[in-house]
Structure 1
């Protein structure tokens, strides 16, 4: 299958954004699939949604996708859209973290010079506070001990858990889990 053109990628991105918005508004995946279907006979608005669900079939004059296929397509689109939003947010956070780190560098230089040159206790305290803030920002400080317990301090009871749920529990108790064991 040839790579989509820029216009097609934009239309697909718009379809994904519309799917997320409809789900956020409370529409179930099948309703979303029908609302954003390419085939006017299937589309709940009776229009051909540009590069909507089943557009490959509609372009070839073939029958529209069944309900199960629509649901899978909607869920796949929503997952992809949300993953892209998360990746974009993480990039934004990293850029902001770098900016804050640079600001702390500038502030630390002033406080450090005064602390070393004049031995002023307030300047020393300020330098230490900046160092503490930088350590939190960079994740240098680790808790000495983390303990998670169940109700009334008892053990946590786990009867049925998916791999994702177990991974989430491990991430809560293991400070190295988020950094890949570093």
Structure 2
């Protein structure tokens, strides 16, 4: 069997859009399956949905898909539609990232030339800021490690304490200790 015709592909795309719209509206998978079923005997609107679920069986006059099959088909449609949207979004993000990189490069080269040829410190600063932005855009920066230290740079001492000690410390800091529940 060859690739589906343009009309069939368009109908499948529309079915997936309809499935997503129904899911967004809070419709359960079985209802989506019935709404988008090809066989009017199963379709909740009693019509033949174009390229609907079970179209191959409907065209051959076979028994329509059962509830479990309709749920599986709706679930698969939703998953594939969401994967297609994620891929399209990923492609768009990659293209936008590339566009931003090109813009930054156009800004960088004049600053770089000014910094090197003229020793212009403002141009040096601008060039470095552009490089930093490119690194962030490309994810090249390493995460910053943060350490907490105690007095005089010594390590923070962590000790186990009682609720009474915590309440006393809160009281020393100017807060009111919480009422303790008896029980």
**TM-score above 0.5, yes or no:** yes
SS in 2 for 1:17: helix
Alignment of 1:161-180 (within 5 A): none
Distance 1:129 1:40 in 2: 64
Distance 2:60 2:87 in 1: 35
Can you give the 5+ residue segments of structure 2 that lack an aligned partner in the other structure?
147-183
Once the two structures are TM-superposed, the CA of residue 43 in structure 1 deviates from its matched residue by 1.0
Residue by residue, what CA displacement relative to the aligned partner does 1:114-159 show, whole Å, maximum 9, x if unpaired? Answer: 222222222111111000001111121121549xxxxxxxxxxxxx
Alignment-derived partner of residue 23 in structure 2: 23
Is structure 2 residue 127 aligned with structure 1 residue 110?
A: no
Alignment-derived partner of residue 172 in structure 1: none
Alignment-derived partner of residue 51 in structure 2: 51
Can you give the 5+ residue segments of structure 1 that lack an aligned partner in the other structure?
147-182
Once the two structures are TM-superposed, the CA of residue 104 in structure 1 deviates from its matched residue by 0.7
Is structure 2 residue 35 aligned with structure 1 residue 35?
A: yes
Aligned residues: 147
Alignment of 1:6-155 (within 5 A): 6-145=6-145
CA RMSD in angstroms, aligned pairs only: 1.7
Once the two structures are TM-superposed, the CA of residue 109 in structure 1 deviates from its matched residue by 0.8
Distance 2:2 2:30 in 1: 28
Once the two structures are TM-superposed, the CA of residue 108 in structure 1 deviates from its matched residue by 0.2
Distance 1:40 1:73 in 2: 17
SS in 2 for 1:49: coil
Distance 2:70 2:34 in 1: 8
Q: Bigger radius of gyration, 1 or 2?
A: 2
Once the two structures are TM-superposed, the CA of residue 86 in structure 1 deviates from its matched residue by 0.7
When the two structures are superposed, what TM-score results if normalisation uses the length of structure 1? 0.76
